Structure 1
Amino acid sequence: MRIGIYGGSFDPPHFGHKSVAYYTIKNLNLDKLLIIPVGRASHGKNNLSDNILRYEMCDIVFGSLDKVEISKIEIEKDEISYTYKTLNEIMEIYGKDNEYFEIIGGDSAAYFTKWKNYEEILENSTVVILRRKGYVSEIDSDKIIEFENEYFDISSTEIKEKLRNNEDCSGILDDKLIEFIKENNLYR
């Protein structure tokens, strides 16, 4: 099986994230794409919305997509999330004989060599880099694929600001997600 692993804060998940899911399933010919909301981020940014709410938001955005599974593998733990550890656990669950693709953005690729045990990630998976405006990957490995995907030129931080200011987010967020955000009084 060809299994993609797409982790992130998903706070909130937006159309850019959804387009990455579609794009990678199609272009990598994946049998399964695991969406993994981060638990406790290793880079210290732990000002995230509640884990369960982020999981539910991912379910709203990605849950109906064919070949997608939303995983609680990181959010159910009370420890720092490291990609290499998550990858090892996924390999234990699904088996070492599968082909794994770790999907990251160009912003992450710019500092990938600073990730804990990044060599182990390259050993156990192919790292798929999706370009992102303003970032350049410095990784050189035959275990790297770089995609010239379309830019979705907005960040979750900018979306949160729009939500705080009661601006229209219908072009960047799923309508059901906007309802969920309002019902749960998020980003106010």
Structure 2
Amino acid sequence: MTTPRLPATLPGMRVGLYGGSFNPPHRGHAHVAHLALQRLRLDRIWWLVTPGNPLKSADGLPDVDRRLAAVRKVAHHPRAIVTDLESRLGTRYTIDLVRRLKTLRPAVRFVLVIGADNWATFHRWGGWREIARTVPIAVVDRPGATFAALASPAARAFAQARISERDGGLLPDLSPPAWIFIAGIKVPLSSSQLRRSATRG
């Protein structure tokens, strides 16, 4: 069995892993990606269009190709890569993805980029403690999720591993567990709201 081709990297590259179903993608997603690129001084950010969220129903979820095309319309940045890597690797859970990537590209400095809403429920992810001990994590604030994220089981479990926001550029070089909470202008959009609006329209 051959391993699917990964996006091109060089040893020492700093790569953000930004996954989601992106159904649909919107300016809020792009804001998170751009903020991570800037604050973490990333060389690349991979938009990982997933087969589906294991914690959510897949009913009505457009196929990966349609969502890839939609993401490419919003991921406007020269260092952004849009990929269906998880489908091609056959990984369904984040823990499986980060294990594979660390094996396939051991010299690349991967950082998991997630929104504060996901950090608030991170303890429900399969192997969440191992994820945090495998790659540094950047948590980007999202509207209405600040308190829940900072008071979450994951935030408490790894309280000693949190670094100051002003040290964001250091995060990709740190040995995990290490995480940061990135504040900034919040874009008040969500995929679920957009789907509801489309249904009503």
TM-score (norm 2): 0.74
> Any idea what the Cα deviations from partners look like across 1:16-68, whole Å, max 9, x if unmatched?
11111111111110011010112132114212111110111112221x41111
Alignment equivalent of 1:12, drawn from 24, 27, 35? 24
Alignment equivalent of 1:125, drawn from 130, 135, 139? 135
The residue number in structure 1 matching 2:197 is: 162
Question: Aligned AA for 2:107?
Answer: D
Asked whether the 8 Å contact 2:23–2:62 carries over to 1, the reply is yes
The answer to whether the aligner puts 1:82 opposite 2:93 as a matched pair is: yes
Other structure's SS at 2:86 match: coil
The residue number in structure 2 matching 1:146 is: 181
The residue number in structure 2 matching 1:31 is: 43
Alignment equivalent of 2:103, drawn from 84, 88, 92? 92
Superposition CA RMSD, Å: 1.8
The residue number in structure 2 matching 1:113 is: 123
Larger CA deviation: 5-14 vs 134-143: 134-143
What is the deviation of 1:144?
A: 1.3
Q: Structure 1: 5+ residue runs without aligned partners?
A: 167-188
The residue number in structure 2 matching 1:54 is: 67
Question: Aligned AA for 1:50?
Answer: D
Asked whether the 8 Å contact 2:20–2:53 carries over to 1, the reply is no
Structure 1 residue ranges (4+ consecutive) displaced by more than 4 angstroms after TM superposition: none
What is the deviation of 1:149?
A: 2.3
Question: Aligned AA for 1:61?
Answer: V
Asked whether the 8 Å contact 1:39–1:76 carries over to 2, the reply is no
> Any idea what the Cα deviations from partners look like across 1:121-163, whole Å, max 9, x if unmatched?
1122111111223332221421110011221112111112223
Asked whether the 8 Å contact 1:102–1:127 carries over to 2, the reply is yes
Q: Structure 2: 5+ residue runs without aligned partners?
A: 1-12, 162-177
What is the number of equivalent residue pairs in this alignment? 163
Higher helix share: 2
Other structure's SS at 2:180 match: strand
> Any idea what the Cα deviations from partners look like across 1:60-83, whole Å, max 9, x if unmatched?
221x4111111211234666x211
**Aligned-partner Cα distance in 2 for 1:154–1:113:** 24
The residue number in structure 1 matching 2:55 is: 43
TM-score (norm 1): 0.79
Asked whether the 8 Å contact 2:115–2:139 carries over to 1, the reply is yes
Identify if the C-alpha distance between structure 1 residues 165 and 113 changes in structure 2 by more than 3 Å, giving closer, same or farther. Answer: closer
Asked whether the 8 Å contact 1:39–1:77 carries over to 2, the reply is no
Other structure's SS at 2:18 match: strand
Question: Aligned AA for 1:92?
Answer: T
**Aligned-partner Cα distance in 1 for 2:69–2:137:** 27
Other structure's SS at 1:74 match: helix
